[in-house]
Amino acid sequence: MTRAQIMKSIKDKNVQFFRLQFIDINGIMKNVAVPKSQIEKALDGDMMFDGSSIDGFVRINESDMYLKPDYNTFTVLPWRIKEGVSAARIICDVYMSDGKTPFHGCPRVNLKRVLAEAKKMGFTMNVGTEAEFFLFKRDENGDATTTTHDTAGYFTVDTDDEGIDCRREIILVLEKMGFEIEASHHEVAEGQHEINFKYADALTAADNTVTFKWVVKTIAKKYGLHATFMPKPVFGINGSGMHTNQSLFNLDGSNAFYDKKDKMELSKVAYQYIAGVTKNARGFAAVTNPLVNSYKRLVPGYEAPVYVAWSAINRSALMRIPAARGMSTRVEVRCPDPTCNPYLAFAMMLNSGLDGIKNKLAPPPSTDVNIYQMTPGQMRKAKIKSMPASLLEALEELKKNSIAKETLGPHIFEKYVESKEKEWDSFRIHVTDWELENYLKIY
């Protein structure tokens, strides 16, 4: 989108308020709102903000930072059109106080850097995310509960799915914002949903993923519901994942993962990419699964991918190769959950795959049996490792992973680990209801 097109849309839609959005290292959307009088200044990239107030950004003596908008992310907000007055948003990269230097702690800038390195190798990356979420009721004070709004199950028909109206409006809003929606359905657990939208280049896919989460939460609130992407909000039922379909394309536009001569119709590049992801999976878990709660989803018995393996048919493996071939040939990495920062998660998965390509790694044999039914001895023989069992273990794996600091950059790596270690320590010293229920009366 050009500046002229944006200004025409602002005029035609009577946009009076403009949101400049960006993402912190934990994947939380932030924004600075400006009135119409400041829109041209904002489009020039001359809007400043205090970076020292954002987790993982800069120190107080380096606080002045600029927001440089990406014109392609401009969109009018359908739910903010009232009495002919509209609001719009645009996603920005964060720049240093000189206004010329990209900030190396900006997750979006960091993903651009990693994608540029991939391009030097002759590849672009396409990504499609499938972010599951729950819709819960709110109490009389408007606070979120964990009481589901329905008793429906996987692919349940409309009459049993009380969230259908909310889900329909989410889809309509997303379509007005330029999303191409492919399908939606009720998920396995009560109150759990999924809306699938078309894949895109990795940067656009990350932008779309954070926008999707924002829209879901916004429209759910309109219906008196609370939408959460928390990986495991309710014990004993399935958690929410974000299966991430990814493929590399050659610069001529062909799919680098496809080779019709191979028995699985996968190219050497695809096998090497799979090998790289397999090698680094435990190392990137702290980024793709970033919460203490994430590891309460990554347990056997709830369809979550616990084991580092790959297969064309096996949904118990970490990586699945969907059946489509040709231009649709791709790898589905099933471990990420929707609380991850997609800019960092895509960068880590991409560089993991590129690590396999650079070093010409061979993947382990595909695992085409149900891993959940394998004995420990069978798993050892097959050399199948488990994903980390806690955020602490994941952080230790991240810190010793050979490509993590290179992928995230020294600034993000240091600040991210620092933030997550604080989160783990806070959890470690907290006295939980489980402890009170099991220990208080006995000891």
Known active-site residue 169: no
**Active site (annotated) includes residue 187:** yes
What is the rounded CA–CA span in Å between residue 391 and residue 422? 11
Domains of the chain by residue range: 3-103, 112-433
Say what the alpha-carbon torsion angle 390, 274, 410, 119 is, to the nearest 10 degrees.
Answer: -150
Catalytic residue among 12, 40, 46, 50: 50
194 is catalytic: yes
Q: pLDDT (tens digit, 9 = 90+) per residue, 38-86?
A: 999 999 999 988 777 676 665 544 578 999 999 999 999 999 998 899 9
Catalytic status, residue 226: no
Buried b (16+ CB within 10 A) or exposed e, 191-219: bbbbbbbebbebbebbbbbbbbbebbbeb
Lowest mean pLDDT of 196-210, 297-311, 350-364, name the range: 297-311
Is 243 noted as a catalytic residue in this protein?
yes
Q: DSSP E strands: which ranges in 2-107? A: 15-23, 29-35, 47-50, 64-69, 75-76, 86-95
Q: Is position 130 annotated as part of the catalytic site?
A: yes
Q: Is the pLDDT of residue 236 over 50?
A: yes
Distance in angstroms (rounded) separating the CA atoms of residues 239 and 265 = 33
Tokens, residue 47: 């809007």
Task: Say yes or no: do domains 3-103 and 112-433 share a fold.
Answer: no
Q: For residues 54 and 42, give the distance between their C-alpha atoms in angstroms, rounded to a whole number.
A: 20
How many C-beta neighbours within 10 Å does residue 75 have?
A: 18
Catalytic residue among 149, 282, 330, 334: 334
112-433: CATH superfamily = Glutamine synthetase/guanido kinase, catalytic domain (3.30.590.10)
334 is catalytic: yes
Question: What's the confidence (pLDDT) of residue 382?
Answer: 82
Q: Which helix (H) or strand (E) holds 181?
A: strand 181-186
Lowest-confidence range among 241-255, 304-318, 423-437? 304-318
CATH number of 3-103: 3.10.20.70
Q: What percent of the chain has pLDDT over 90?
A: 78
Q: Is residue 132 flagged as an active site residue? A: yes
Of residues 3, 168, 315, 380, which has the active-site annotation?
315
Q: Which of 86-100, 152-166, 215-229, 279-293 has the lowest mean pLDDT?
A: 152-166
Tell me if residue 40 is catalytic: no
